[in-house]
Amino acid sequence: MLAIMLLLMTNPVPPPTGVNDAVIGTAEEYKVEGPARVCFNEGAIDLKPGETSYLDYMGIHRAAIRIVGPDGEFKVREGDIWSEPRGGKRIDATIRRFGSRAKPRYAVYGRPAFSPDRDRLLTWIDGTGDAVQDMKQARRIIPVLQDKTTCRRRFMYGMFVDEEATQP
């Protein structure tokens, strides 16, 4: 934990940006400390104790968060899902790996309300290069979350605004 704190002090988290790289606030304003559930339009990820998420990007077509914790730093992005990537290596029924071993990206699939009959790409994870750790992170994604009342914070992209939710 001390190592992460020292890393953050020497490498501060950049402020979140939006369309055209406009800064939309400070990293602190959009910070969520674990344990907590951070949600998007469709899905979510559960932060573990010791992890902190920061909004990285929020725009019309996607939202992304940066998660920093004892297991390293990684990004989770939901949106930009209308284009199906080619190739990749199927890891399991809902996850495909793309990119190189040094800079892997993982695509997480699910069946949202707008596509109940087939799996759709919903979430991207930028991996760290540690295959075991990356898979642990990818498997934490909840591609489709029906009950949004369990979200500590919800980042809505599209023509919506950031919506804060509190745990019951």
Amino acid at 103: K
pLDDT over 70 for what percent of the chain?
86
pLDDT in tens, 42-99: 999 999 999 999 999 999 899 999 999 998 899 999 987 677 888 899 988 899 999 8
Structure tokens, 150: 């369990």
Helix (H) or strand (E) holding 123, with range, is strand 120-126
Mean pLDDT of 113-130: 89
pLDDT above 60: residue 5: no
HEC letters along 26-86: CCHHHEEECCEEEECCCCEEEECCCCEEEEEEECCCEEEEEEEECCEEEEEEEECCCCCCC
The better pLDDT of the pair 40, 102 is held by 40
Q: Is the pLDDT reported for residue 8 higher than 50? A: no
Contacts of 164 (CB under 8 A, 6+ apart): 153, 154
Position 47 scores a pLDDT of: 96
Share above pLDDT 90 across residues of the chain, in percent, rounded to a whole number: 56
pTM, rounded to two decimals: 0.84
Decide: 119 and 81 in contact? Cβ < 8 Å. Answer: no
- At residue 166, does pLDDT exceed 50? no
**Spatial CA neighbour of 152 closest among 44, 37, 51, 52:** 37
Q: What are the extents of the domains in the chain?
A: 2-164
pLDDT at 2: 53
Name the more confident of 124 and 10. 124
